[in-house]
Structures are given as structure tokens and as C-alpha cells.
């Protein structure tokens, strides 16, 4: 069954780097491009955002005071080709530990002439009572499109 286009947000960017570097900057270098000042959920200012390098690893932020706030978990770790993250944030950007309520962010890294095509798909919004609210939030200004542009500059 095909997924309704309204139930996902899809963005892509081509970076001028080999596939391995593109994957590494997205994952190990996550804090080098993620806008920590504006995109964090903890009470404290964010010092870093972390994607642990393994399936089952955490996706979280660490505050300047050492506190940690989970965003989700790594569900697929396939360097340098693919990464899938379970997004456990509600439409109000609060952590929900229930895996049945998590949406999914898949990032694919495909070699192209002179670089790597990075494709991001955020899906599963139908799990929310108001799926359009979160879909709109991650697709508008400051959402995945702008975030991928910041990532591309970091690469």
C-alpha cells in the first residue's frame, strides 16, 4: 500500500563530499550543524546533540548543565548508506517514551557525480490526533529543508 504523500515530509540536498563523509557529518558531527540555540527541548541551553552510532542507540541533547533530554532512538544504522531514527517528540516537542507514538525519520546517502545525494523522509504523522500540526511544523521555515541546508554547509 502506498503511503499518502500528506503523511510525510520529504527533503533532499546534494553535498560535495563522498558518501562516507556525508554520513559522518550527519551523525557523528550532528552538533556541528544542528541549530542548538533554537532546536532543543531541555530546560537548559543545549551544549550538544548526539546520535549514538548503533541500532538501539539514543538520539538526544545534552544541556550545558549536563542534563539530558531524549528525542528518540536509532532504529537502523547502516553506514554510509542509511540511518533511521524514531522521533519520540510530540507535536508540542515533548518527549513521549511510547514507541507506538513515535514517527520515523529516514536519511539515505547515495553517491552521485561529485558528491552525495542526501534524502530525508519524516513519516508517520497519522499517529497524532492532529497530524497536520506536526507535519506543517517540520516542513515550514526552520524545519527539515532549512536544517538540511545547514547540514550541507557543514559538510
pLDDT for 3 beyond 80: no
72: exposed, middle or buried (C-beta count within 10 Å: 0-12, 13-18, 19+)?
buried
Q: pLDDT digit string (tens) for 17-32?
A: 999 999 999 999 999 9
What's the confidence (pLDDT) of residue 133? 84
* CA dist., res. 95 & res. 112, Å (int): 36
Q: pLDDT at position 7, please?
A: 78
Amino acid at each position: 500500500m502506498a503511503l499518502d504523500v500528506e503523511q510525510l515530509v520529504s527533503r533532499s540536498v546534494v553535498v560535495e563530499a563522498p558518501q562516507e563523509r556525508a554520513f559522518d557529518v550527519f551523525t557523528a558531527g550532528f552538533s556541528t550543524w544542528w541549530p542548538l540555540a533554537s532546536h532543543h527541548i531541555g530546560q537548559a541551553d543545549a551544549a550538544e546533540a548526539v546520535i549514538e552510532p548503533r541500532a538501539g542507540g539514543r538520539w538526544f541533547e545534552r544541556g550545558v548543565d549536563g542534563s539530558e533530554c531524549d528525542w528518540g532512538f536509532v532504529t537502523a544504522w547502516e553506514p554510509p548508506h542509511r540511518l533511521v531514527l524514531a522521533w519520540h517528540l510530540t507535536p508540542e516537542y515533548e518527549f513521549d517514551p511510547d514507541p507506538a507514538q513515535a514517527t520515523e525519520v529516514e536519511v539515505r546517502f547515495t553517491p552521485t557525480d561529485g558528491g552525495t545525494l542526501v534524502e530525508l523522509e519524516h513519516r508517520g504523522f497519522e499517529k497524532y490526533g492532529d497530524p497536520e500540526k506536526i507535519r506543517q511544523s517540520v516542513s515550514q521555515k526552520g524545519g527539515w529543508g532549512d536544517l538540511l541546508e545547514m547540514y550541507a554547509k557543514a559538510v
